[in-house]
Structure 1
């Protein structure tokens, strides 16, 4: 059983390394099996479909992103809700820019198994975003906005757009300034635009 679990984790590890180096388009079952040193049929013992393997790899990305946010929250006990929202926004966009292949895969629901590869043990993959979104809603609510869920959803969409447009080169071209400074300024501007004059 440990050997089987080890193989399952090795396949996910290899997939995560492959998506980091070559992008989601490189995530073929045969290539993952080859790099893991197993027969091309071996992944089927753990992942009945290609989508289920991609979903397990994407779940690793959601776990990594959640770990970053958890670490931020642990260090932000004295921060105001607005400061915490800014920190989460920066972490979200930062993760996207540091891990473009994984970030792209995580939201490619056309490629992923929305039911999750092991429904009895893990939540549906699409539900992996709900804890982070719930935290964002709670913090936005503490900033005094009228509709926290709607505002948090709009902010999330804004941050996701910043991440994608920056990664594609559109925003750097439009702004033409120092990249690190611009990303932080864009995140802060998005937070301020959605939270408005609400109290910190």
Structure 2
């Protein structure tokens, strides 16, 4: 990697660390520069706006989540088992990397029109769509009789809701099973999959 490319990655690395530690609201070009050990003006060469910096950090989050998916599904022999592993991983990622997860789904960063108008590339939408397409392909394999995109969208929305409500403590409140957190989360994920794909019958 060239020196310039390496510096760009260092700036993103610093942004990722800051998001994970303090959330996306804490991310600014000056603080990123300080953490990366460069002048305050240096980040502007690669990230002309705060929006562009957040988008680059969020793209890194999607790459990270994709790697988690691959690792989770690697030892699962069936499509349904792989989808179950990925669904559990999605919720776990949301809870363990909460600041990044919240940043990744910021709608103003997903708006390709705004990013294109500002001359900011690559567009974050192009990092989000592969994740959804992966869900869609897996749903189509598990349930070829269903409309895969609609089912995948509903499944994704449901998993996202589980992650958010668990992070806020709402599901623990209604389930009354705080002491069995991981086990209860997995049960919820299985209930989501059964609701959208049907229960496993064999």
Give 1:186 deviation, angstroms: 0.8
Which residue of structure 2 lines up, in the alignment, with residue 67 of structure 1? 67
In structure 2, how many angstroms separate the alpha carbons of the residues matched to 1:112 and 1:24? Answer: 15
Matches within 5 A, 1:24-173: 24-76=24-76, 78-79=77-78, 81-111=79-109, 114=112, 115=115, 119=121, 122=122, 124-144=123-143, 145-173=145-173
Which residue of structure 1 lines up, in the alignment, with residue 7 of structure 2? 7
Which residue of structure 2 lines up, in the alignment, with residue 193 of structure 1? 195
State the secondary structure of the residue aligned to 1:146.
coil
State the secondary structure of the residue aligned to 1:47.
coil
In structure 2, how many angstroms separate the alpha carbons of the residues matched to 1:137 and 1:50? Answer: 32
State the secondary structure of the residue aligned to 1:75.
coil
Give 1:98 deviation, angstroms: 0.6
TM-score normalised by L of structure 2: 0.88
In structure 1, how many angstroms separate the alpha carbons of the residues matched to 2:168 and 2:95? Answer: 10
Which stretches of structure 1, 4 residues or more, deviate above 4 A after TM superposition?
Answer: 197-200
State the secondary structure of the residue aligned to 2:107.
coil
| RMSD over equivalenced CA pairs, Å | 2.1
Alignment check: 8 A CA contact 2:19 2:100 kept? yes
In structure 2, how many angstroms separate the alpha carbons of the residues matched to 1:133 and 1:199? Answer: 26
- Flag structure 1 segments of 5+ consecutive residues without an equivalent: none
In structure 2, how many angstroms separate the alpha carbons of the residues matched to 1:196 and 1:183? Answer: 19
Alignment check: 8 A CA contact 1:154 1:194 kept? yes
- Flag structure 2 segments of 5+ consecutive residues without an equivalent: none
In structure 2, how many angstroms separate the alpha carbons of the residues matched to 1:75 and 1:158? Answer: 25
Instruction: Summarize the Cα distance change of 1:148–1:112 in structure 2 as closer, same or farther, 3 Å threshold.
Output: closer
Give 1:130 deviation, angstroms: 2.1
Give 1:52 deviation, angstroms: 0.7
State the secondary structure of the residue aligned to 2:137.
helix
In structure 2, how many angstroms separate the alpha carbons of the residues matched to 1:92 and 1:37? Answer: 33
- Count of residue pairs brought into register by the alignment: 195
Alignment check: 8 A CA contact 2:24 2:103 kept? yes
